[in-house]
Structure formats: C-alpha cells, structure tokens
Amino acid sequence: MQKWICVICGYIYDEAVGIPAAGIAAGTTFADLPEEWTCPECGSPKESFEVYAE
C-alpha cells in the first residue's frame, strides 16, 4: 500500500485508508481509482499526484 500526494494542494491519498465517505473503500490502489477521479481537496486531475514518501 502506498500514499500519493497531490502536488497542487498537498492532499494525501492513502491507499490503505481509501475515502470511505466518498465510496472509495480502504485498500483501493491509486491505479484503481477512475481516470476521471479528481483530488477531493482542489479538483486537480490524477496526473497531479505523485508517490509520497514520508
């Protein structure tokens, strides 16, 4: 499981957690998010995300 950061706003998508409130189950990989999915914080497209290493 990886974490991904939106380089526009800093929002972090954690695959282990998902976004249950938005119907994205824990364990959903970033690659499995729909292509039209956008950052829930700033609305940027998927290509604005990078793997986030803490």
Partner 1 sequence: MSTASAVAGRVEINGLVFNPYSKDFIRDPDPAWQTLMRDYPIAWHKDLQMWLVNTHELCDKVLKDNRFTPNFRAWEFAPPSKAEADKNDFDLSFEKGFFAVTNKEHLRLRKLTMPAFARPVMMKIDAKIHDLVENCFNDIGNVQEFDVYEALASKIPVRSIARMVGVPTDKEDFFHDFAVNIIKATRINLSAKEREASVQGTLPGFAYFKDLIHERRARENPGEDFLGSLVGANDNGEKLDDHEILSVLFALITAGSDTATDLHTFLIHGLLTNPDQFELLKQKPELMENALIELLRYGSFGKMPFFRFATDDTEFEGQFIKKGQAIGVNISAAWHDPVKWPEPTKLDITRRMDGNLVFGAGAHFCIGTYLVRVQGMLMLKEFIKRFPNAELVNGTGDIDYEYTHHNARRINKLRVKTNVKAAH
Q: Which tokens in the block code for residue 53?
A: 């290493």
User: Measured from the CB atom, is 9 or 17 closer to partner 1?
Assistant: 9
Structural contact between residues 8 and 45, judged by C-beta atoms closer than 8 angstroms: no
| CB of residue 6 to partner 1, shortest distance in Å | 8
Ramachandran category for residue 11: left, alpha or beta (phi over 0 → left; psi -120 to 50 → alpha): beta
20 in contact with partner 1 (CB under 8 A)? no
User: Measured from the CB atom, is 5 or 24 closer to partner 1?
Assistant: 5
5 in contact with partner 1 (CB under 8 A)? yes
